[in-house]
Amino acid sequence: MFRRQHPIGPYVLDFYCAKANLAIEIDGISHDMADRAARDERRDAWLKKHGVTVVRISAAELMRGVDEAADAVVPLALEQL
């Protein structure tokens, strides 16, 4: 269902489900530094303009519970189908 490291336009998404037009981005600590938040906003706006829904999950949250993160993402993908 999800493909890892999938290019869309000028971006490479962490995970992407083409059928659902859903991108899952895993954000590590670098996303809180310098201008990264602004870059992420521009990227998300571009993706939204092109019909892609973006879900961001912090790396820390993912490390605390992979199953819980997956349980949250799968229904989102199914809603988009």
- In the chain, where the domains are located: 3-80
Residues of the chain with pLDDT under 70: 1-3, 29-34
> How far, CA to CA in Å, does 10 sit from each of 13, 15, 49, 61?
10, 15, 13, 27
Q: Do the beta carbons of residue 77 and residue 1 sit within 8 Å?
A: yes
CA distance 22 to 60: 21
Q: For the structural domain made of 3-80, what CATH number should be given?
A: 3.40.960.10
pLDDT digits (tens, 9 = 90+) for 36-59: 888 999 999 999 999 999 999 988
